[in-house]
Amino acid sequence: MPGTGLDELDTALLTLLQQDGRLSNKELAARLHVAQSTCLERIRRLSRRGILRGQHAEVDLGKLGRGTQAMVAVQLRPPDRAVIESFQAFVASLPEVLSYFVMAGNDDFLLHVAVADNEQLSAFILDRLTQRREIVHVRTSVIFSHVRRPVVLPLPVGRDA
């Protein structure tokens, strides 16, 4: 892909590995019709560049007893570095939080949480989050369905809007 330093082979490797990160180097090379050594070197280069950052197992949250997901937007005051860093450390320690975003705009944080049910979500918001003095506003949106894009590649350069 122009501008990214990735060619067709790199892009094909990224696609296959995102679809199934357990594919062996031998299988990848066979599917892409390249030598195993070529395939291995490309994977190593993608890893050195930080494009490939590991393999992850996808889990079924419902089967882990965490069937209710929500996005929780949080506003903090004062919005200074110490407050943001302190709150970020707090959020990172919460087992209910799957991921979080530190943001600019109306909200300072967006938390993706997964809990057992609405009662546990309410307890998380009221008993854990809103006990923090720096929080001035919380907005919660329950997630009905979460679809993750299975393959992410660079955007084409020069694409019309």
Q: Measured in whole angstroms, how far is the alpha carbon of residue 124 from the centre of its chain?
A: 21
Residue 130: pLDDT band (50, 70, 90) is very high
Go through the domains of the chain in sequence order and give each one's CATH number.
Answer: 8-48 (1.10.10.10), 62-143 (3.30.70.920)
**Mean predicted confidence (pLDDT) in 133-159:** 90
Q: What is the pLDDT of residue 3?
A: 63
- 71 secondary structure, DSSP code: E
Which of 1-5, 23-27, 43-47, 69-73 is the least confident region? 1-5
Which pLDDT band, with edges at 50, 70 and 90, does 160 fall under?
low
Confidence check: pLDDT of 52 > 80: yes
DSSP H helix total and E strand total for the chain: 5, 4
pLDDT, one tens digit per residue, over 68-86 is 999 999 999 998 999 999 9
- pLDDT at res. 44: 95
Answer yes or no: are the C-beta atoms of 67 and 61 closer than 8 Å: yes
DSSP 155: P
- Summary mean pLDDT of the chain: 93
